[in-house]
Amino acid sequence: MWCAGEMGRSMTADVAFEQELRTYLQQAGRPFTDETRAFYELDFTLLLSTGARFHLEAKEKRQPYNMAAWPTFAPERELFILDDLTVRKCLAFAPRAGVVVKDGVARRYLFFSVLDLALMPRQRVNRRIERNAPDLKGKWLIDLRNGQVARDVAGLLALVDNYLAGLHAALYLEHACYGRYVGENVGEGGTTRRPGHWEKDVRNAR
């Protein structure tokens, strides 16, 4: 875990997160396309050396939340409120997609892969909006402790690279429940599977 002093020196508080990411990607020479003005895309598309793409949405926590306005889900320091629509857009590009958060309050950066978004605890609510006509906007309350933390944008992109490196194993090889999340207790259930069970399954499938 990064200490508060390191995070404080690394965070550019007065620069919008999208611009901070854009500048880093340009200076680091990482190929990408900027989709921040596109409605049907996530903010940035990383062009990987394999020819694949990784889709990244940038979000920012700029001030503490008014806890009286939201259900109790996590301590304010650990709370982040995410659009339900953002998660659905991430699912459209799964499994190479995720959300990065710049937490300007606690001075940290966090990465949530689309696998985390699919599997970690959350609470969904509809927020009332009144513009031309009454409407609802879906929101997710999530716990920032379930994201991976970086001290700067370079570390944030390293977390994305680590996720991609382990993606095949996470999707196809890991049999246990994926991830360890605050707010969830993964116990054990069912009878212990032994070789005889698989032999029976094979016989019954013929």
pLDDT digits (tens, 9 = 90+) for 103-114: 999 999 999 999
Preceding omega of 134 cis (within 30 degrees of 0): no
pLDDT of residue 7: 40
pLDDT at 191: 86
> What is the phi/psi pair of residue 122, to 5°?
-160, 165
88 membership: H or E segment, kind and range? helix 84-92
Q: Determine the pLDDT at residue 176.
A: 95
pLDDT confidence of residue 74:
97
CA atoms of 104 and 77, how far apart (whole Å): 11
3-state SS class at 170: helix
Confidence of residue 206 (pLDDT cuts 50, 70, 90): low
Does the structure show a pLDDT above 70 at 13? no
Predicted local confidence at residue 6, as pLDDT: 42
Residue 34 pairs with which residues in a beta bridge? 44
- pLDDT of 8 reads 39
Place 9 in a pLDDT band, splitting at 50, 70 and 90: very low
User: Could you give the percent of the chain with pLDDT greater than 90?
Assistant: 81
Could you say which DSSP state residue 49 is in? T
Instruction: Map 104-165 to HEC letters.
Output: CCCCEEEEEEHHHHHHCCCEEEEEEEECCCEEEEEEEEEEHHHCEEECCHHHHHHHHHHHHH
- pTM of the complete model: 0.89
